[in-house]
Amino acid sequence: MAKISPAHAATSMQMKTCEFTEDMIDAVVQFNARIRAGGGRLAFPASHIPQWFPPLPGRRMFQQFFLVVDAEAAVRGAYILKHRDFSVRGEVMSLADFQLPISEGSVDRKYTTVGVRLLWDAMHKHPLLYALGMGGHDLALPRLLQAAGWKLCAVPFYFRVVRPFPFLRNITYLRNSLLARGLLDGLAYSGLGWLAIRALYAACYRGIPPAPRFTMELVDEFQDWTDELWNAQRAQYGLCGVRDRTSLQMLYPRDARKFIRLQVHEGARPVGWAVLLNTPLSGHKQFGDMRLGSIVDGFSAPADAVHVVRCARAFLEEQGVDLVVSNQSHWAWSGALRRSGFMCGPSNFVFASSATLTRLLAARGIGVADIHVNRGDGDGPIHL
């Protein structure tokens, strides 16, 4: 794709960008209807007040909704900025996540320039932008970001098969042909699949020495110990979303019962935590009907990441999951997963940094492996 510049954001039609206000609700509803009628699958929130992170006085993590409207006040595009503080080598600064850009150009070629306009407006409002997830490098949004000079890298995907039979019978991603389904069913019912998977893990597993002094405990919410851990260890990470008590209570609130909050101790001292999911799936496009365990988020000193992962894996396996998965970018967490018996698979979870953010990270000597991002840093643990 050719490089794009601000000039590409101009259009012959008179358009403007504005914040979503209550008087625009009907126009957004009509916009969503046109997108659906054209075959689009995305829809923009039909309320001007964000349900996830509304902007409130004194709040550092919040969302803003923006619209592109034409001369007749019809909405032709929309996007979200999620503002959040990040630690950059220990220095806290505000970054923004470029979320859910939707352009009517996706269903009507008359509005093909709207998508570019959305991006340049967001970059003008907050140059320190990132995007996360997006479904892989080859889709429209990642290609647009790359053309705008953003740096893209896949966040590695790790998995561990706990119960080979339901894995082989349900891994839709691999069961993509009649031959593949027959082969995987044969491996499942014969028991050869169980033997093959166990042999593979035995050959690849770089075990960690027993560490009985590390124990785990379920907690209902994150308390003051989280602040102490964050303040002590944040400078050990190149780039990391703020994970203090206030932020974590917003991301994983006490009343959100689906989240499993695991505190890890060395003796009596908290050394880390993980947020997990245990999800019974039905007809999932990749995992079928498996019970999926997910290591969604976590934090510790880099040296203790392996103990946090080991405890998270043990807990989920005790809960009877068929498969445990995680997306982790930082070298310590990726290494912890590998040392804990996880394999690396293809990832469609992409981290993208704007040109301004990329330059900032380069100036601080922060490489891709120094960035600690996972599913807790984007749209949340959706589809898991």
* CATH number of the domain within which 323 lies: 3.40.630.30
Residues 39 and 97 in one domain: yes
* Domain count across the chain: 2
Last residue in a domain, options 154, 170, 187 = 154
CA gap 146, 342 in Å, rounded: 31
Which of 62, 34, 28, 72 minimizes the C-alpha distance to 47? Answer: 28
Whole-number pLDDT of residue 13: 56
CA gap 381, 384 in Å, rounded: 6
Residues 319 and 175 in one domain: yes
pLDDT single digits (tens) 167-191: 989 988 888 888 988 988 898 888 8
**With 50 as the cut, is the pLDDT of residue 11 above it?**
no
Residue 67: which domain range?
Answer: 6-154
CA gap 161, 258 in Å, rounded: 22
Q: What is the mean pLDDT of residues 109-113?
A: 92
Q: What is the mean pLDDT of residues 142-161?
A: 95
Per-residue pLDDT band at 1 (split at 50, 70, 90): very low
Work out the mean pLDDT of the chain and round it to a whole number. 91
Which of 335, 284, 285 minimizes the C-alpha distance to 310? Answer: 335
Residues 144 and 195 in one domain: no
DSSP state letters, 92-115:
EEEEEEEEEEEEGGGT-GGGTTHH
Residues 317 and 264 in one domain: yes
Last residue in a domain, options 154, 182, 202 = 154
Contact 114, 15 (CB under 8 A): yes
Residues 79 and 32 in one domain: yes
Residues 73 and 122 in one domain: yes
pTM, two decimal places: 0.90
Residues 275 and 319 in one domain: yes
